[in-house]
Structure 1
């Protein structure tokens, strides 16, 4: 099933914007492996979260775009059970995949938990699938496959948890040469490596990107290492991005880097719903230094686009940093699925980066649930920045579906700014936010 979704807000006489996350409310695609194929479009292959009781799901979707703003979502391109079941030898969950293209065929590399963990491959003539005839890759027992086809046509297969492994793929792209299996990462990298290999060649260098647990005793970072050969050795270089503050229960990160229309990006995920699961794919631009290293980048709300226009409606779930109890979650199930900030407690905070302030703005408007009660303190740039407004939200007694509250704001200097919200409320009061905007 193919769905066209414009993941942006179109308001009358307002600019088109892109934002993080790139998946719509109610859809959770994690472990984004991005590729630009011969049609010039960018495709993301990832796992799909569907429950807090287990990781991932039994199906894969594919995201695709021509501009990083408008996205196609092709659903159920591959399944391990149920409709479109293409894995006849088990009915296990599907963890993080990767994809490759060679001689007119697209290859989807999949993996599943179990004893032992299983890795496999399915094929299609279309980058959106459906991928069919899933076959096990013998001698590759683990998770999180990644594939690189080098300039000479030789393909390499990466996988593993705790330590990465690499082996040459045979010409059929479905078998590894067992005799070539090695551990390609240096000692420092092996200490940081958790799982989630992703491999790219950039110029004469090879970049191994992976879930990195060198901070906070959890793999919230995407780290990387550089080598002069696809078999390594790869020298650990550091962190590209850290999603530690995306959710109170954020546990891991997993993603890739890819060049699209002249710009390199990192593709990663953020947790939601105060859960290690329910993860959403996000994008940030990245930049290389002359020595080939990559500068660490921060999470933003704007993602691949320009700074957001504060007079547009800003969805509350676009936050790029949370502290306290507050989390992104579904806030309405009555009609269209909506997400926002919920379960807000006293002194919780939320950060939004970045906005381009141009016009003289005088007021702030916020949509909340009708029973919401509390105060929002709005500061520029950081937690100790200029206090530009204090918005008081009072509950409504009427039987209404939502409430709009407004308040005045102080002068904001033109330019690029982050917004830092601090919430104040009683411990037993309800407080959730759907969207906000400036006028």
Structure 2
């Protein structure tokens, strides 16, 4: 045990009162402790690599044990640290068999890690996890999504959303930029102060996405207006609006302002529930276009739709 790196410990108190500790870094460890003092290791209980190393297991850190029925679950962060994976066993001492992963925050925050676990609350299952902010893995914001425990004992994979426990965001209420769950092309959420967390470093090719908005079923209008509060960076550019996928045909677009401004984009009426994506492009053309591909186009503070 002296050579083991035992970070991110998780504790399981079994139905019979026995106490097990799970932890590790690159290797997974477990041992039983005396429930009377919660610190004395029971002789002979120490085990290494209770979750087999290698693909697709790739144990990294963040052990969180659970007992569901007669099955023992180990939720953990694999080498692809943006994910929360899980493994199961018939015994609290393992070995544990890899079953898959439950959530992945890499769409929104590439290069980050993840810690968290599942919980059953009022008969419904939830996965608690985090995403990174301020362009550093040491700044983390808690998140939660609904999941399902299926009949075969597996957990349903869920995508990271912007609405969390709500069914969807209301597009006709102000949406703060920081709720983005997809961030691509080097843009990131920055914390200016406790009231302001804009998305900055928006470059040509950047993608900002939100899951999901419920536009309702109102067919009374023929058009919709989108207002975005932007901080211009003196660069010309285009923002395209996509529904459901960043690769879909844009339904509207607007010109990025050179300075701080509220940009209005007119678009056709949208109904139902949709994911929303903003795709940013260089406004320059010609032989010098490439000179501006790595220049910040703007910063996004918030936006709202109006009928």
Considering the TM-score relative to the shorter chain, is it more than 0.5?
yes
Alignment correspondent of 1:157? 21
CA contact (8 A) 1:163 1:193 kept: yes
Alignment correspondent of 2:163? 302
- Relative to the length of structure 2, the TM-score reads 0.86
- Corresponding residue SS for 1:276: strand
1:436 has 2:303 as partner: yes
What 5-or-longer segments of structure 1 have no aligned partner?
Answer: 1-115, 118-139, 397-401
Separation of aligned partners in 2, 1:265 and 1:321: 21
Alignment correspondent of 2:105? 243
- Corresponding residue SS for 2:44: helix
Separation of aligned partners in 2, 1:301 and 1:348: 18
- Corresponding residue SS for 1:292: coil
Alignment correspondent of 2:12? 148
Alignment correspondent of 2:204? 346
**Structure 1 position 286, deviation (Å):** 1.0
1:318 has 2:179 as partner: yes
Q: Deviations over 1:72-92 (max 9, x none)?
A: xxxxxxxxxxxxxxxxxxxxx
Equivalenced residues, count: 288
Separation of aligned partners in 2, 1:263 and 1:271: 26
When the two chains are superposed, the root-mean-square deviation of aligned CA atoms in Å is 2.2
CA contact (8 A) 2:232 2:297 kept: no
Separation of aligned partners in 2, 1:243 and 1:430: 25
**Structure 1 position 187, deviation (Å):** 5.0
Alignment correspondent of 2:45? 180
CA contact (8 A) 2:244 2:276 kept: yes
What 5-or-longer segments of structure 2 have no aligned partner?
Answer: 284-291
Separation of aligned partners in 1, 2:154 and 2:52: 16
Structure 1 stretch displaced more, 266-275 or 193-202: 266-275
Alignment correspondent of 1:39? none
Separation of aligned partners in 2, 1:410 and 1:209: 44
Separation of aligned partners in 2, 1:247 and 1:141: 26
Separation of aligned partners in 1, 2:52 and 2:282: 50
Q: 1:186 to 1:141 in 2, by over 3 A?
A: closer
Q: 1:186 to 1:419 in 2, by over 3 A?
A: same
Structure 1 stretch displaced more, 178-187 or 282-291: 178-187
**Structure 1 position 159, deviation (Å):** 1.0
Q: 1:298 to 1:347 in 2, by over 3 A?
A: same
Separation of aligned partners in 2, 1:190 and 1:173: 33
Please list every run of at least 4 consecutive aligned residues from structure 1 whose deviation after the TM superposition is greater than 4 angstroms.
Answer: 187-191, 370-373
CA contact (8 A) 2:209 2:276 kept: yes
The structure 2 residue matched to 1:206, chosen from 68, 72, 80, is: 72
Q: Deviations over 1:81-117 (max 9, x none)?
A: xxxxxxxxxxxxxxxxxxxxxxxxxxxxxxxxxxx89
Alignment correspondent of 2:289? none
The structure 2 residue matched to 1:227, chosen from 81, 89, 98, is: 89
1:415 has 2:268 as partner: no
CA contact (8 A) 1:147 1:158 kept: yes
CA contact (8 A) 1:162 1:190 kept: no
Separation of aligned partners in 2, 1:409 and 1:392: 14
- Corresponding residue SS for 1:278: strand
